[in-house]
Amino acid sequence: MSRYRGPKLRIIRRLGDLPGLTTKRSKKENKPGKSGEAGEESSKKKSTEYGRRLEEKQKLKFNYGLTENQLYGYVKEARRRKGVTGLILLQLLEMRLDTLCFTLGFASTIANARQLVNHGHITVNGKIINIPSFQCRLNDIIKVKQKQTSTALVQKNLEIGKFYELPTHLKFDKSKLEAKVTNYCNREDIMLDLDELLVIEYYSRR
């Protein structure tokens, strides 16, 4: 199953704010396909346990720009590791190189961060990495390639991007455009409004 490339505002109208998907906001408040109060009431009546689990899964999938197979792969890996499966799942996604570039403010969305990595603008421990799903590890050094086009692009994104307090698991030297992964992220550091337990429950029968 391919990655979603359709209308992004339609997705956030249905699922709510997804900071990794888009910075745009829809002027419409109702969910797509519904109109008026009657539509909202009908939507609530049809909500089921499965529907809520599916919605939370979709949030994760669209926010991080994953295919269904990729997300299921992360869930399986989270199950194999010791600890709280839901938190481990989020930590795996937050340690992707494209996600870290987005968190550091190198790009306005995870999709843009993926493009930044694909085009060879980012290095990890001194080596150019062009694989967005690359799993970074503790003490890895993430740096913008020392090339004028790369540094200019990232500096522009840092200037125009929204300000978020840097998570505790990252150290960032803005003057060098260099960051270090010092730990795994805490649950409160993740900007996405999500009940990850429902995602694990969604895949529990697979």
Return the pLDDT at 32.
58
pLDDT bucket at 43, cuts 50 / 70 / 90: very low
Same structural domain for residues 127 and 167? yes
Q: Say what the alpha-carbon torsion angle 161, 162, 168, 172 is, to the nearest 10 degrees.
A: 20
- 173 inside domain: yes
Q: Give the 3-state secondary structure of residue 96.
A: strand
Residues 80 and 121 in one domain: no
Q: Dmax over Cα atoms in the chain, in whole Å?
A: 57
Looking at the fold, whether 118 and 68 belong to one and the same domain comes out as no
Domain count, the chain: 2
DSSP E strands in the chain: the ranges are 122-124, 127-128, 141-144, 170-173, 178-181
Q: What is the CATH number of the domain that holds 86?
A: 1.10.1050.10
Is 3 a domain residue? no
pLDDT in tens, 66-99: 999 999 999 999 999 999 999 999 999 999 999 9
Q: What is the pTM of this model?
A: 0.85
Residues 33 and 87 in one domain: yes
Output the pLDDT for position 169. Answer: 93
Kindly provide the b/e burial profile for residues 133-154, where b requires at least 16 CB atoms within 10 angstroms of the residue's own CB.
bbebeeebebbbbeeeebeebb
What one-character DSSP code corresponds to residue 139?
Answer: T
Check residue 159 and give its pLDDT. 85
Whether residue 84 is found in the same domain as residue 36: yes
Give the phi and the psi of residue 196 in degrees, each rounded to 5.
-65, -20
Q: Identify whether residues 124 and 163 lie together within a single domain.
A: yes
* Domain membership of residue 150 as a residue range: 96-183
Would you state the pLDDT for residue 39?
A: 46
